[in-house]
Amino acid sequence: MAAISTAASGTRYRWVVLVLCWAAFTMTSVDRATWGPAAGSVGDDLGVAVAGLGLFATTYYIGYVLSNVVGGFVADWVGSRVTVGLSILLSGGFMLAFGEADTRTMGLLFQACIGLCAGAELGAGVKLITSWFVPERRGFAMGVFMTATSLGLVIANAVVPTLIASHSWRTSYHLFGVISMVLGVLCLILLRPGRLVVREKGSGRPDLRPLLHNRSLLLLGLAGFCALWGTYGFVTWSNLLMVKGIGIDPVEAGTVVVIFGAVAVASKPVIGFIGDALGLSRKNLTIAILATFAVCLIAFSFANTVTQFLWIAPVLGIAAYVYSPVMLAMIPALSGGQLAGSAAGGVNAFWQLGSTIVPTVVGLVYGATGSFQVVFLVLAAGPLLGIVPMLGLRTADIHEHLPPTASTDSDCTGRPLLATKGKD
């Protein structure tokens, strides 16, 4: 009876872990997405031209990419609980600091610091989820986890324009900074690793050499780079370009982006659940999504009224986000659970290079052409090119076996699963 009670408790607690990881990732996503609707006001306040605003986003993403690499490694070495908690706690602190910036230099510095802290959360979150959910159920868990990026966009675009109208852009950064810090403390107190990933005794610092020679992870990294080129180019610039390039009212432009992000919140866990339930090829599913994404960006480039944008936004929002949980669920299968944090952090860092480069490129393209359409055609090139490396990915590599174990437990559906005692 005691064994059954313990197993049931462990099964329930995996949802607590998933919710906390999701909440932390949501807040880092809110912190990142706040820049989009706030950029115009920040530029007016700090005296930065429209073409120069992309540098702020690029500075954030440089820090974000670096912390993805370091954060995943730290999660495998020190532990995921500490990595997740400190990531969101410190990023919240720098959000508060950015809200006090009064010069362009200070703003760029604090944006870089926010990114340096926020990016560490993803690899650690993936490691925790990997330790609690078996591979056959991991697609749904990753789908829930990855709703954070689109939900963060929805929250920022729903809240920030109103706060700017009633107070100032600084209020947005203060509010989200405080919420992030409180959540960071909760994560430090409540998170703990599961038993599906075993840390070998005396293993010390993780050996990353197997990841460096993993061809499949490299191809997945290239595909994600191209995909995020389209996603975060849209996230960073769509709001401002609809206002500046087409003449759409800022609130209406924010509504378009809210719809874009809102549909992805529901579609991410749905795509994960369907993929798990039907046993769909994650490779082929990703290719189909990227093709749809490119077509939607091309269609968006030809729109010029609020009604047209509102019709395209839901489909575009689905295509721009649902590839991420599908691709993310491939990483532990390709790397193994021991290095899941480092692999997720490293691959996502490579993905985020697209996010780092695209804001500045789009700013230069728009500055040179003044064309709304050209900008979105440039963004559409990303997911189209992302199909190429996915075609080279071997389906046989995307398969995972749990390690030999001494005991059994049950997964979130009540099915038996293998589990081992270990320390994260």
Distances (CA, A) of 253 to 156, 237, 260, 337, 358: 13, 11, 11, 42, 20
Q: Is the pTM of this model over 0.85?
A: no
Provide the terminal-to-terminal Cα distance of the chain, rounded to the nearest Å.
27
Q: Token pair of 45, please?
A: 């306040």
Q: 212: burial class by Cβ within 10 Å (0-12, 13-18, 19+)?
A: exposed
Calculate mean pLDDT across residues 172-199.
85
Q: Tell me: the pLDDT tens digits for 44-74? A: 888 777 767 778 877 887 888 788 778 777 7
**pLDDT bucket at 210, cuts 50 / 70 / 90:** low
**pLDDT bucket at 414, cuts 50 / 70 / 90:** very low
Average pLDDT over the chain reads 79
Which are the contacts of 412, defined by CB distance < 8 A and separation ≥ 6?
11, 14, 15, 133, 137, 141
Q: Token pair of 278, please?
A: 């039907």
Q: Please, what is the angle between helix 104-118 and helix 50-77, to 10°?
A: 30
Distances (CA, A) of 2 to 6, 7, 53, 423: 6, 9, 59, 22
Helix (H, G, I), strand (E, B) or coil at 51: helix
The answer to whether residues 208 and 79 touch, using CB atoms and an 8 Å cutoff, is no
What is the reported pLDDT for 407?
Answer: 37
Which are the contacts of 105, defined by CB distance < 8 A and separation ≥ 6?
none
Helix (H, G, I), strand (E, B) or coil at 417: strand
Cα separation, 340 vs 230, whole angstroms: 26
Cα separation, 137 vs 102, whole angstroms: 48
What residue has token string 């691959």? 347
Which are the contacts of 370, defined by CB distance < 8 A and separation ≥ 6?
245
Q: Tell me: the pLDDT tens digits for 382-394? A: 999 999 999 988 7
Q: Which domains does the chain have, with CATH numbers?
A: 8-194+212-397 (1.20.1250.20)
Q: Tell me: the pLDDT tens digits for 225-240? A: 999 889 888 887 888 8
Cα separation, 272 vs 266, whole angstroms: 11
Q: Token pair of 321, please?
A: 């986000």
Distances (CA, A) of 289 to 146, 286, 376: 16, 5, 18
Q: Please, what is the angle between helix 215-241 and helix 250-278, to 10°?
A: 150
Q: Which of 62-66, 261-265, 284-288 has the lowest mean pLDDT?
A: 261-265
What is the reported pLDDT for 327?
Answer: 86
Q: Tell me: the pLDDT tens digits for 126-156? A: 888 888 887 777 778 888 888 887 788 778 8
Q: Which of 80-94, 230-244, 331-345, 403-417 has the lowest mean pLDDT?
A: 403-417
**Residue 410 β-bridge partners:** 416
What is the reported pLDDT for 406?
Answer: 32
What is the reported pLDDT for 397?
Answer: 55
Q: What is the signed CA dihedral for 289, 295, 297, 299, rounded to 10 degrees?
A: -140
**pLDDT bucket at 196, cuts 50 / 70 / 90:** low
How remote is the C-alpha of 60 from its chain's centroid? 14
Residue 79 falls in which region: left (phi positive, over 0), alpha (psi -120 to 50) or beta: left
What is the reported pLDDT for 13?
Answer: 86
What residue has token string 């944006």? 111
What residue type is 309 in one-letter code? Answer: F
What is the reported pLDDT for 207?
Answer: 57
> What is the per-residue burial (b if ≥16 Cβ within 10 Å, else e) of 4-33?
eeeeeeebeebeebbebbbbbbbbbbbbbb
The answer to whether residues 408 and 419 touch, using CB atoms and an 8 Å cutoff, is yes
